[in-house]
A and B are shown apart, each in its own frame.
Chain A
Amino acid sequence: MARSSPYRGPAPYVFLGPYLILTAVFFVYPLLDAAALAFEQTNGPSSRAFVGLDNFRFLASDPVFHHALVNTTVFALCSVFLQLPLSLLLAVLLNQGGDRFKGLLRLVLFSPNLVGQIFVGILFSVLFTPRYGLINRFSHALLGWGLEEQWLGNPALVMPAIVLTSLWMYVGFNMIYFLAALQAVDKSLEEAARIDGAGRWQVFWHVTLPSMRHVLVFVVLTSIIGSYQLFELPLALLASSNGTGPDNSGLTVITYLNEVAFNSGDLGLGSAVGWSVALIIFAISLVQIRFTRAAEE
């Protein structure tokens, strides 16, 4: 395809103008400001004072922040090791069958994603009601356990409740990506492996999975990044206990940020939390990319 004739004029700058202006004002400036804010203490937006590394020192020693960090990490691990395998299983099952069926099932399994996290949180906060909630009754009928369980009031059950809710919400979302990747796998490769005498499981493990590694990396990365930004779901789910759960058992890093920055007015400390999250995400992305590079060579 021939490139279009060279054009020398203002058009591209005009078309990109809104992006350039808005990015300068609402991205570059706040980013620089965030770098400055992290070393300052503020009380509301107007009064600022330089405090050096105090914000980071405070975070390093604040048990509440550590609790938030642990909770969020547990959630991220559950996303990767619980939710993604389930999504993959559903995608594989879905990919085996005829097309008419596939479209409908895909639609159903994806549908929770249309509902915002806040609305899902509100809905599930009632589903987890002791004695009457759908989940309590279901678990009682199936397992004989959990009718009177206080999912959202018992610190030991708060994280499981958040993970269960996010499973309901996101299993179908990642399944869509896996399904698209499965459909793009070269059928002749799988066929060749089968002719060479490989079993179903071997074909899947040695042929199908490696050929969808790009999507796997993408989904794992976005899941981890999304997990570290978890905020709205626990906030709505735990609205009856301040959005953080009893004993901060459902506190996430972003809930913590929201609390210190916008409820207590210390935007400096909030920025420091923001940088910590950014650093964690950046480090994980780097490790992940290294890891897959090494695996490919």
Chain B
Amino acid sequence: MNPLRLLVCALVFGFLLLWALSPRRPRLALAYLRLVLLGSACLLVLAPFFWLLAAVFKDRDYFNEYLFFPPLSEWSSASLNLDNFRRLLAGKPSVTGTVYFWQYVLNSLFFACTSTVLQLLFCSLGGYALARYDFRGKTALMTFMLGSMMIPGVLLMAPIYELMVKLQLIDTYHGLIIPGVVGAYGIFLFRQAILGVPAEIVDAGRIDGCSELKIYYSLVMPLVRPMAAAFCLVSFLGNWNAFFGPNVFLHSQAKLTLPVVLNLYVSQYGSDYGVFLSGTALAILPPAVLFFALEKEFVGGLTSGAVKG
């Protein structure tokens, strides 16, 4: 009987006991069951993260010795150290010279931040136009936009690749960023949020002689800030984790982003897990920090488009 099975038996026994105490009104037993189920779900979700935390600090020779951290008595610089990171961050030769890991971190940051800022700007401008103006062709445009969201992106990958080759945008960052800076989905999200801004505010701005751009920038945008924050988070996450586009369009080693490079490292380093796992841990960190800083906006923004029922 190992500890894990013992624990499971004890938990089941606790439930049966509570049930036996008051079989007619099993309120206590159900509350207990709820806690046990939710608790184990959380542990199952967190276990891989905790395992990763241990894995990146364990020395190569101790990697398989202990499942998580070694026991306290074994803690020393021989069992736990920064050796994995040291090997990860050391330069690697490539065709165009030595490339260091921080180069990929910078690439990812640049790609994700630039894309996010441009997406915010162009999607909110588009959403503002749809929400606050009546213009010719508006209905047709919105029907087209809704239809365009039904087309899966992968369908367009092959022809876009061909187009990129023609435009000589392969292996450049603008080629990677520009096609994605504005989309129907983002525009609709902002349209929905901006529809909630009272029309009187826009009218007051016009009477006071504001330009249309000024109304958008100083009157409307500050009022949809929670929505904009959520949008930025979702969009940053999407760009930071993006793989298909960067994998297809970027070729030079020094231009690659983290997901592409780490995927390559898995086959390059084989069973030397510590190196690519520490890289993965570093890659998880920025979105996690952002998320915990802005958790409320994030969850609100995710569901804002969906729950209208």
Complex alpha-carbon distance, A5 and B207, angstroms: 11
Closest to A111 in B: B45
Select which of B132, B161, B200 is within 8 A of A261 by beta carbon.
Answer: B161
> Which of B11-19, B69-77, B284-292 lines the interface with chain A?
B284-292
C-beta contact mask, B175-192 vs A, less than 8 Å → 1, else 0? 000110110100100000
Q: Which residues of A contact B41 (CB under 8 A)?
A: 90, 109, 171
Pairwise interchain contact B309-A142, C-beta atoms closer than 8 A: no
Q: Please report which residues of chain A, range 117-168, place their CB below 8 angstroms from some CB of chain B when the two chains form the complex.
A: 117-119, 121-127, 131-132, 134, 137-138, 141-142, 168
List residues of chain A with CB within 8 A of the CB of B42: 105, 108-109
Is A195 part of the contact surface with B, judged by Cβ < 8 Å?
no
Asked if A205 is at the interface of the complex by the 8 Å CB criterion, the answer is no
Interface string of B158-185 (1 = CB under 8 A from A): 1111110110000000000011011010
- The 8 Å CB contact of B243, one of A18, A115, A212, A232, is A232
Complex contact B199–A118 (CB within 8 A): no
Beta-carbon contact of A225 and B243 below 8 Å: no
Q: Which residues of A contact B166 (CB under 8 A)?
A: 45
| B4, B67, B135, B216, most chain A CB atoms within 10 A | B135
Q: Tell me the smallest distance from the CB of B187 to a CB of chain A, in Å.
A: 6
Q: How large is the interface on B (under 10, 10 to 19, 20 to 34, 35 or more residues)?
A: 35 or more
The answer to whether A45 and B165 touch (CB under 8 A), given A109-B42, A122-B262, is: yes
B306 interface neighbour in A30, A125, A180, Cβ under 8 Å:
A180
Binds A, one of B86-94, B95-103, B146-154, B223-231: B146-154
With beta carbons under 8 angstroms apart, the residue of A22, A117, A213, A218 that contacts B241 is A117
Report how far A30 CA is from B291 CA in the complex, Å: 35
A70 interfacial by beta-carbon distance below 8 Å: no
Interface check B128, CB cutoff 8 A = yes
B274 nearest CB neighbor, chain A only: A126
Q: Which residues of A contact B156 (CB under 8 A)?
A: 26-27, 30-31, 34, 274
A274 touches B158 (CB 8 A): yes
Complex Cα gap A281–B152 (Å)? 8
For chain A, the count of residues having a C-beta within 8 Å of the partner chain is: 102
Which of B163, B181, B199, B306 has the most chain A CB atoms closer than 10 A to its own CB? B306
Q: Are A114 and B266 in contact (CB under 8 A)?
A: no
B244 within 8 A of A: yes
Q: Which residues of A contact B165 (CB under 8 A)?
A: 45-46
B126 and A90 form a contact (CB under 8 A)? no
Q: In the complex, which residues of chain A have a beta carbon less than 8 angstroms from the beta carbon of B254?
A: none
Interfacial chain A residues near B105, Cβ < 8 Å: none
Interface string of B83-125 (1 = CB under 8 A from A): 0000000000000000000000000000000000000001001
Residue of B at shortest CB range from A142?
B4
| Residue among B2, B155, B206, B270 making CB contact with A271, cutoff 8 Å | B155
Report B254 CB to chain A, min CB distance, Å. 19
Contacts of A240 in B (CB 8 A): 266-267, 270
Q: B198 on the interface (CB 8 Å rule)?
A: yes
In the complex, which of the residues B64, B150, B157, B263 contacts A236, with contact meaning CB atoms closer than 8 Å? B263
A275 touches B263 (CB 8 A): no
Instruction: Find chain A residues with CB under 8 A from B154 CB.
Output: 229, 231, 254, 257, 274, 277
Q: Which residues of A contact B4 (CB under 8 A)?
A: 138, 141-142
Query: Does chain B have a CB within 8 A of A23?
Result: yes
Contact A94-B135, Cβ < 8 Å, known A26-B179, A34-B159, A125-B266: no
Contact with A along B262-302 (1 / 0, CB 8 A): 11001100100100110010011001100110010001001
Contact in complex: A29, B309 (CB < 8 Å) = no
In whole angstroms, what is the CA distance A127 to B67 when docked? 10
Residue B20 lies at the interface, judged by CB distance under 8 Å to chain A: no
Using Cβ atoms and an 8 Å threshold, which residues of chain A touch B160?
26, 30
Which A residues between 69 and 111 are near B, CB-CB below 8 angstroms?
89-90, 93-94, 96-97, 105-111
What's the minimum C-beta distance from B234 to chain A, rounded to whole angstroms?
Answer: 10
B308 within 8 A of A: yes
Q: Answer yes or no: A291 CB below 8 A from chain B CBs.
A: no
Q: Which of chain A's residues has its CB closest to B138's CB?
A: A12
Given contacts A19-B126, A29-B159, A232-B243, 20 further A-B contacts (CB under 8 A): A3-B199, A6-B134, A15-B126, A18-B125, A22-B181, A33-B159, A45-B161, A106-B299, A110-B299, A115-B287, A138-B4, A228-B152, A229-B152, A236-B263, A257-B157, A261-B158, A262-B248, A270-B158, A274-B157, A278-B152
Going nearest first, the 4 A-B pairs with the smallest beta carbon separation are A116-B241, A214-B309, A274-B155, A30-B159
A-B contact pairs, 28 of them (CB 8 A): A11-B213, A16-B141, A26-B160, A27-B148, A30-B160, A31-B151, A31-B159, A46-B165, A90-B38, A111-B49, A116-B237, A116-B243, A117-B243, A122-B276, A126-B55, A141-B4, A168-B44, A176-B299, A229-B152, A231-B244, A257-B157, A257-B158, A262-B157, A262-B161, A267-B161, A275-B155, A277-B154, A281-B150
- Chain B residues with a Cβ under 8 A of chain A: 2, 4-5, 8, 34, 37-38, 41-42, 44-49, 51-52, 55, 64, 67, 122, 125-126, 128-130, 132-135, 138, 141, 148, 150-163, 165-166, 178-179, 181-182, 184, 187, 198-200, 202-203, 206, 212-213, 216, 237, 240-244, 248, 259, 262-263, 266-267, 270, 273, 276-277, 280, 283-284, 287-288, 291-292, 295, 299, 302-303, 306-309
